[in-house]
């Protein structure tokens, strides 16, 4: 019997190893799997490479992971905002590496990994520092930059509901990066508000099929 549910958040992240590349879903706080991040902080993995849209907000979630000194590098599109003080302090002190990627390129690089695409050409970033060291090509009179896929060891994502096979549905904009991150990681761990019985999720509204999800864990009440 296939049952991908885990009894606790701690068990779900227990094998995240030092130096792992970890994708974390969310657009700001929307869709961020904060409970899984807290469990990862407790677990103690270090020297992580984090892939996320931004670099944390305030003092919780991803920001707390940064503050704990567990992140060696972050790949994101929007590292600085009014309350990204933990990232700002670490970056200015030379304690974290930043790979800045325009948001559309970030999403497509993640999607490309999940789709098995070896690379793609994008016009975004051409003629800027972001294109330094990358192959460029003229296509139909326009210049493009070759971008590489982003693969991950783990993806931590948040969904509204899931079943024991790992099928997921999301809540509105909390969906954001979750579906493509689930496809791009070797091990996808989904934090869900509710675990439902098989058959309760309408197949027509399932966004992430269970084939892309290895672990499902319910948020603590």
What are 83's two structure tokens?
């309350």
Residue 140 domain-assigned (yes or no)? no
Whether 125 maps to a domain, the answer reads no
Q: Is residue 22 part of a domain?
A: yes
Model pLDDT for residues 107-135, shown as the tens digit of each residue: 999 999 999 999 999 999 999 999 999 99
Flag whether 141 is in a domain: no
Q: Give me the CATH number covering residue 154.
A: 3.40.1080.10
**Predicted confidence (pLDDT) at residue 193 exceeds the cutoff of 90:** yes
Q: Is residue 174 part of a domain?
A: yes
| Beta carbons within 10 angstroms of residue 207's beta carbon | 15
Cα distance between residue 188 and residue 191, in whole Å: 10
* R_g over Cα of the chain: 18
pLDDT tens profile 156-188 = 999 999 999 999 999 999 999 999 999 999 999
* Contact assessment for residue 75 and residue 48, using Cβ atoms and an 8 Å cutoff: no
What mean pLDDT comes out for the span 137-154? 98
Q: Is 214 part of a structural domain of the chain? A: yes
Please, which contacts does 56-62 make with residues 24 or more away whose CB atoms are closer than 8 Å?
Answer: 56/84, 56/86, 56/87, 57/28, 57/29, 57/81, 57/83, 57/84, 58/83, 59/86, 60/34, 61/26, 61/29, 61/32, 61/34, 61/37, 62/24, 62/26, 62/32, 62/37
Q: What token pair was written down for 168?
A: 């997921």
At residue 221, the pLDDT reads 59
> What is the tally of structural domains in the chain?
1
């Amino acid at each position: 019997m296939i049952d991908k549910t885990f009894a606790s958040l701690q068990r779900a992240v227990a094998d995240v190893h030092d130096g792992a590349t970890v994708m974390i879903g969310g657009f700001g706080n929307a869709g961020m799997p904060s409970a899984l991040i807290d469990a990862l902080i407790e677990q103690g993995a270090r020297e992580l490479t984090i892939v996320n849209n931004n670099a944390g907000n305030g003092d919780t979630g991803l920001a707390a992971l940064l503050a704990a000194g567990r992140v060696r590098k972050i790949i994101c599109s929007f590292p600085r905002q009014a309350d990204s003080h933990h990232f700002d302090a670490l970056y200015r002190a030379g304690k974290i590496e930043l790979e800045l990627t325009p948001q559309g390129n970030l999403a497509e690089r993640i999607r490309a990994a999940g789709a098995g695409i070896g690379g793609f050409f994008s016009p975004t970033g051409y003629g800027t520092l972001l294109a330094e060291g990358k192959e460029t090509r003229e296509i139909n009179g326009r210049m493009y930059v070759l971008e590489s896929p982003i693969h991950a060891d783990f993806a931590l994502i948040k969904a509204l509901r899931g079943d024991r096979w790992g099928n997921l549905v999301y809540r509105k904009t909390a969906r954001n990066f979750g579906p493509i991150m689930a496809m791009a990681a070797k091990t996808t761990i989904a934090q869900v508000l509710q675990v439902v019985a098989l058959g309760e999720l309408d197949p027509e509204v399932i966004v992430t099929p269970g084939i892309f999800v290895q672990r499902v864990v319910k948020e603590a009440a």
